[in-house]
Amino acid sequence: MTRNDPPALHWLVGAELTHFRKQAGLTIAQAAGKSGIGRPKLGHMETGKYTQYPDDVANLMTVYGAPQRDVDRMASLAGSCSGRSWLAPWKHLVPDWFKTFVGLEGLAESEFVFEPMVLPGLLQTEEYAQAITDATGFVRRDQTERFVSFRLTRAKRLTDDVPLNLHVVVGEGALRLDVGTPDVREAQLRHVLTLAKLPTVTIQVIRPEDGPHAAMTGRIVVLDFAQAQSIAYSEQVDGAVYVQDQDDVRTYKMAVENLKSVALTPAKSLAWIRSVIDWH
């Protein structure tokens, strides 16, 4: 894990504790009785609002009948929940639901993103990010500069010492979106081509003529972790949905594979982006 974020890690541990409890067929009250951990404390452990001590986590996982490898994995994960979050400078600027996501992103080993209408934040240049921020109006003008600095710091996850493995499928409309000036748009497209040269970044383009696919309802994200189970994420106008049930996550992963197969190959995608630059 290259970016420390205790709140996101607490959330991740809590999500897994909830998953294993439900898999064991226990209510919170039953789990509290079997583990000797108070019901209120256990509830807060599951929501990530209470410190999850490794011994308590191991105790719960044992009660839930989890394999020893999962008991050890979860205790180790809980033991790493310390230190200062990299998000601290922007904690009052970013909404809580999005802080959780970028915190999880910083902990992830790999990420898949499908974005039909706008380039994902991890791929944005400073000028493009500035233009998007100005146009959407979700950030007060006196905070725009700080929000853009947050976006850029987040994007450095791609070039960390242990970089995020990123696979993006982006809609044609996102690449043609009228953002900023023509120079800003061209620089953004060239930046995408530069990022695609990184061995940890894969970019595919999907066009209307490529036909229907499994993510017609919009943007999806799947995060994979070295020590935790995968989660899926979808964004709304003023919030987000986090998918933790592994059967549901597998459905998202099926959609991911469908998107990869329907979209242009990475090589053809980059050629298509170059053609857009040349056309302009």
125 with 145, same domain: the answer is yes
- The CATH number of residue 52's host domain is 1.10.260.40
Domain encompassing residue 65: 6-79
Domain membership of residue 253 (yes or no) is yes
Q: Is residue 13 domain-shared with residue 116, that is, in the same domain?
A: no
Residues 193 and 253 in one domain: yes
Interval 15-48: pLDDT, tens: 999 999 999 999 999 999 999 999 999 999 999 8
pLDDT over 80 (residue 94):
no
Q: DSSP states of the chain as a string?
A: --S--HHHHHHHHHHHHHHHHHHTT--HHHHHHHH---HHHHHHHHHT-S---HHHHHHHHHHTT--HHHHHHHHHHHHT--S--TTGGGTTTS-HHHHHHHHHHHH-SEEEEEESSS--GGG--HHHHHHHHHHH--S-GGGHHHHHHHHHHHHGGGGSSS--EEEEEEEHHHHH---S-HHHHHHHHHHHHHHTTSTTEEEEEE-GGG---TTTT--EEEEE-SSS--EEEEE-SS-EEEE--HHHHHHHHHHHHHHHHHSPPHHHHHHHHHHHHHH-
Percent of the chain with pLDDT over 70: 94
Q: What is the pLDDT of residues 181-219, one digit of tens each?
A: 999 999 999 999 999 999 999 999 999 999 999 888 788
**Total domains in the fold of the chain:** 2
Tell whether 100 and 149 lie within a shared domain. Answer: yes
Q: Give residue-wise pLDDT tens across range 117-136.
A: 999 989 999 899 888 878 76
